[in-house]
Amino acid sequence: MRMNWSSKPLPNEDKINHLQSEIGVPYEIAVLLIQRGIEDFDTAKSFFRPDLSDLHDPFLMLGMREAVDRILSAIDQKEKIMVYGDYDVDGTTAVALLFSFLKQYHPHCLYYIPDRYEEGYGISFKGIDHAKAENISLIIALDCGIKAVDKVVYAQTLAIDFIICDHHLPGEVLPPAVAILDPKQVNCNYPFKDLCGCGIGFKLIHALTLEMGGKIEDIISFMDLVAMAIAADIVPMLGENRLITHFGLQQIQENPRLGIRFFIHQLKRKINVSDLVFVIAPRINGAGRIQHGSHAVDLLLSENKEVALSRARAIELFNSERKELDQKITAQALDQIKQNQEESLYSTVVFQPDWHKGVVGIVASRLIETYYRPTVVFAASGAFYTASVRSVKGVDVYQLLESCREHIIQFGGHRYAAGLTIKPENYLPFKKAFESAVESVILPEQRIPSTSYDLELTLDKITPKFYRIMEQMAPFGPGNMRPVFLTKDCLDGGKTRAVGEDQSHLKLEVIDSSSARLSGIGFGMANHISKIKSRDLFQILYTVEENEFRGERSLQLILKDLKF
């Protein structure tokens, strides 16, 4: 698929020179730092050397005093507490974090994860009824609840209090909870607004620890769970998120909890954010997609090696099943699009009754890789059809669904991802309305994928020293992405070839105008071989990573795109 490239703005030369002289880094590194808002010695120091003292006081968060007092009162009065969380990575890690923290001081705790299919997202009446049956008098909800007004009112009638720890945007009416922890609340002065659900759970145990006379160092061991949630939830890798991820990755590297050792033991290198996103997160999510999210919490709480291994193997099977379903449904959906190509030019809406509801969101993302346009994938769910929606850059699917609401029973989500439910008879009217809505707002440039790069480089700049400094900019993620570079006037260095089982990948040896020579890998790019071999000049967009082969380490370009 053709991709548009654009360069990020180059900073002012005086700023670059000033930062270079202040911290003694190469010109190119100074550019990358200024692009990320780091312009002086002090900001650079806290960026390169994260320190626990840079974490904000948790009591700055609106509702924290009330939350801490209510929990300590429950502990003192020996009340039963339920820790309630969503079934995705953010929710299950948050539950594992708060539950294991509370159990140290209070044995009267249990946790609850709603069933993805029976109860759906967030707080459910079934969950509250279960709490009542268990004589629970306090529910602490994590990664959900900010809009569950009717559920919290219902809990009140059963004499159950709620503390809500959420990071989603509040509605106009807040639930009548004892305390709400959400930095996105209008009157909340907490300095960092981009915590994930597990991050807010961490601030709660930080506050409880301080109140009980402890210090931040006492809870470093919980940061691995927050790092997993930050990576999986794709929140900005800035401020507290970046700091916690730094220490969380250290924890995973040096002393991984028993539940995840099985998944990372084959990674014979330093663990990074990509490993959390592509190795750990799909497996934790797989439990809720295929079976039940409580399997993920059980895994993360495992304290016995044999039990942990058994749980990890079960989760590995769920993940394998998820992958098979994902591949099969994606192939069926692509086939359906080809057969009905004349119906839709601006959007993709597909349905098959037997598609698995747990993977339709993944399938929607996969379809966008082939047909770059807003996508809705439906499956049957009892008497209704439910769908996951994914969008393309700059197109707000929440607004699109708003304009189609006459055909929808309910929907929710945000700008780039959403879910909805319709009656079967409304499928075709919805499909037509959605296509029309997309056509009315989408711009020509939004129909082509685009990517931006940080800097144009010649290959001689990519030295081991340059790479070492750049790696200290990690952990990478939204807001601090791994730097992307452009190099022009490239030629085949002589050893370029197709690799992989199906020979679809490009193993590149490239030489540029600086006469430097580097190797690279372009996944799914072997179709360019003949032009490269015919000595045509080309340009590449790439990131730089370290490759280890037979004990030898070398720098390698990871191609994002290639143009002639």
For residue 475, pLDDT over 90 is answered with yes
> Pairing relation of β-strands 348-351 and 410-413?
unpaired
Mean pLDDT of 90-110: 97
C-alpha 334/C-alpha 287 separation (Å) is: 26
What element of type H or E holds 558? strand 552-563
Sheet holding 161-165, edge to edge: 109-112, 80-85, 136-142, 161-165, 179-181
pLDDT band, very low/low/confident/very high, at 291 (cuts 50, 70, 90): confident
Mean pLDDT of 307-323: 92
Dump the DSSP string for 427-460.
HHHHHHHHHHHHHHH--GGGGS-EEEESEE--GG
C-alpha 556/C-alpha 242 separation (Å) is: 25
**pLDDT at residue 247, as a whole number:** 97
With a pLDDT cut of 90, the percent of the chain lying above it is 86
Mean pLDDT of 431-446: 96
Which range is least confidently modeled, 65-69, 92-96, 417-421, 427-431? 417-421
**pLDDT at residue 414, as a whole number:** 79
pLDDT band, very low/low/confident/very high, at 269 (cuts 50, 70, 90): confident
Phi, psi of 111 (to 5 degrees): -125, 160
3-state secondary structure of 498: strand
Phi, psi of 297 (to 5 degrees): -65, -45
Q: Which residues pair with 161 in a beta bridge?
A: 138
For residue 82, pLDDT over 90 is answered with yes
pLDDT digits (tens, 9 = 90+) for 335-378: 999 988 877 899 999 999 999 988 999 999 999 999 999 999 99
C-alpha 65/C-alpha 163 separation (Å) is: 12
- The tokens describing 18, both together, are 């000033």
What element of type H or E holds 538? strand 538-549
**pLDDT at residue 66, as a whole number:** 98
pLDDT band, very low/low/confident/very high, at 553 (cuts 50, 70, 90): confident
pLDDT digits (tens, 9 = 90+) for 240-255: 999 999 999 999 999 9
- The tokens describing 372, both together, are 């770059």
C-alpha 289/C-alpha 23 separation (Å) is: 48
For residue 415, pLDDT over 90 is answered with no
Provide the 8-state DSSP code for 482. Answer: P
Phi, psi of 435 (to 5 degrees): -60, -45
Rg (CA), the chain: 25
**382 dihedral zone (left: phi>0; alpha: psi -120 to 50; beta):** left
C-alpha 509/C-alpha 495 separation (Å) is: 6
pLDDT digits (tens, 9 = 90+) for 186-236: 999 999 999 999 999 999 999 999 999 999 999 999 999 999 999 998 899
For residue 265, pLDDT over 90 is answered with no
Listed ranges 36-45, 60-69, 278-287; the one with the highest mean pLDDT: 60-69
C-alpha 152/C-alpha 451 separation (Å) is: 43
For residue 505, pLDDT over 90 is answered with yes
> Pairing relation of β-strands 80-85 and 109-112?
parallel
How many residues in total does the chain contain?
564
For residue 169, pLDDT over 90 is answered with no
Dump the DSSP string for 265-307.
TT--S---HHHIIIIIHHHHHHHHHHS-THHHHHHHH--SHHH
Q: Answer whether 170's CB lies under 8 Å from 62's CB.
A: no
- The tokens describing 424, both together, are 């079967």
Angle between helix 223-233 and helix 197-211 axes, rounded to 10 deg: 160
**pLDDT at residue 386, as a whole number:** 94
Mean pLDDT of 5-25: 94
Of 204, 312, 225, 307, residue with least CA distance to 262: 312
CA torsion, points 84, 90, 92, 96, in degrees to nearest 10? -90
pLDDT digits (tens, 9 = 90+) for 135-159: 999 999 999 999 899 999 999 999 9
Q: Answer whether 291's CB lies under 8 Å from 317's CB.
A: no
Mean pLDDT of 297-307: 94
Please report, for residues 6, 161, 451, the alpha-carbon distance to residue 185 in angstroms, rounded to integers and kept in the order given.
Answer: 35, 20, 33
pLDDT band, very low/low/confident/very high, at 516 (cuts 50, 70, 90): very high
C-alpha 533/C-alpha 538 separation (Å) is: 11
Phi, psi of 236 (to 5 degrees): -55, 135
Please report, for residues 17, 38, 467, 525, the alpha-carbon distance to residue 11 in angstroms, rounded to integers and kept in the order given.
Answer: 10, 11, 21, 33
**pLDDT at residue 171, as a whole number:** 85
pLDDT band, very low/low/confident/very high, at 295 (cuts 50, 70, 90): very high
pTM for this structure?
0.91
From first CA to last CA, the distance across the chain in angstroms is: 14
CA torsion, points 350, 354, 360, 363, in degrees to nearest 10? -70
pLDDT band, very low/low/confident/very high, at 6 (cuts 50, 70, 90): very high
Q: Answer whether 248's CB lies under 8 Å from 225's CB.
A: yes
For residue 551, pLDDT over 90 is answered with no
Of 471, 473, 451, residue with least CA distance to 34: 473
For residue 267, pLDDT over 80 is answered with no
Of 303, 81, 112, residue with least CA distance to 204: 81
Q: Answer whether 559's CB lies under 8 Å from 522's CB.
A: yes
Mean pLDDT of 511-540: 94
Long-range contacts of 459-465 (CB under 8 A, 24+ apart): 459/487, 459/510, 459/511, 459/512, 459/514, 459/516, 459/517, 459/518, 460/514, 460/515, 460/516, 461/26, 461/28, 461/514, 462/516, 462/518, 462/544, 462/555, 464/555, 465/26
For residue 100, pLDDT over 90 is answered with yes
| Whole-number average pLDDT of the chain | 94
Angle at 482 between CA 478 and CA 487, to 5 degrees: 130
Place of tokens 């402890």: 214
C-alpha 260/C-alpha 309 separation (Å) is: 9
**pLDDT at residue 289, as a whole number:** 82
- The tokens describing 34, both together, are 């200024």
For residue 91, pLDDT over 90 is answered with yes
